[in-house]
Chain A
Amino acid sequence: MTRTILYASLLAICAAGANSQQQQNFDSVQIHVEPVQHNIYMLVGAGGNTTVQVGSEGVLMVDTQFAPLAPKLMAEIRKLSPGPIRYIINTHMHPDHVGGNAAIAKLAGSDPALPLKIIANENVLNRLTATERGQAPFPEAGLPIDEYGTPTKNLHFNGEAIIIYHEPNAHTDGDSVVLFRGSDVISAGDIFTPDGYPFIDIERGGSVQGEILALNHILQMTVPAKTQEGGTYVIPGHGRICDDADVVEFRDMVVIIRDRVRDMIQKGMTLDQVKAARPTRDYDTEYVTSNSFVTADRFVEAVYKSLSK
Chain B
Amino acid sequence: MKILFAVLLVSAPAFAQVDFSGSWAPLYHEDLPDRIPGPELGDYLGLPINDAARLRADSYDADRISVVPEYECRPHSSDYSMRGLANMRVDVIRDPVTQRAIAFHTRMNFQEMERTIWLDSRPHPSEYAPHTLQGFSTGSWEDNMLDIYTTHLKESYLKRNGVPRSDKATFTEHWVRHGNYLTVATVVTDPVFLTEPLVRTQTWVLDPAQVIARDICETVAEVPKAADYVPNHLPGTNPFLHEVADWYGLPYEATRGGAETLYPEYRKKMGKPEHPRDHCERYCSCGAEGQICLSPTAAPPGKRP
Contacts of B73 in A (CB 8 A): 227-228
A233 within 8 A of B: yes
In Å, the complex CA distance between A249 and B70 comes to 10
Complex Cα distance A245/B166, Å? Answer: 13
Contacts of A212 in B (CB 8 A): 227-228
The answer to whether A259 has its CB under 8 Å from any CB of chain B is yes
Give the residue name and chain of the B residue nearest to A263 (CB): B234
Residue on A nearest B216 in the bound complex, by CB: A226
Q: Which residues of B contact A184 (CB under 8 A)?
A: none
What per-residue 1/0 map shows which CB atoms of A227-251 lie under 8 Å from chain B? 1111001000001111111101101
Which of A111-119, A140-148, A158-166, A276-284 sits within the interface? Answer: A276-284
- Is there a chain B Cβ closer than 8 Å to A32's Cβ? yes
Across the interface, name the chain B residue whose C-beta is closest to A287.
B192
Chain B contact-residue range equals: 35 or more
Question: With a CB–CB cut-off of 8 A, which chain A residues contact B54?
Answer: 282
Which residues from A are CB-within-8-Å of B219?
228
Report B-chain residues with C-beta under 8 Å of the C-beta of A292.
none
A42 to chain B, nearest CB (A): 7
Q: Residues of A within 8 Å of B, CB-based: how many? A: 41
Q: Please indicate the chain A residues that have their CB under 8 angstroms from the CB of B230 in the complex.
A: 251-252, 255-256, 259
Chain B 51-91, CB within 8 Å of chain A: the 1/0 string? Answer: 11111100100001000101101110000000000000000
Contact of B192 with A285 in the complex, beta carbons under 8 Å: yes
With both chains docked as a complex, state the minimum distance between the C-beta of A244 and any C-beta of chain B, in angstroms.
Answer: 6
- Excluding A34-B128, A252-B232, A259-B230, 17 further A-B contacts by CB distance (< 8 Å) are A32-B126, A212-B227, A227-B111, A228-B74, A228-B219, A229-B132, A239-B128, A241-B130, A246-B154, A248-B70, A252-B230, A255-B228, A255-B230, A255-B232, A256-B232, A259-B232, A282-B52
Chain B residues engaging chain A, CB cutoff 8 angstroms: 50-56, 59, 64, 68, 70-71, 73-75, 111-114, 126-133, 154-155, 166-168, 191-193, 219, 227-230, 232, 234-235
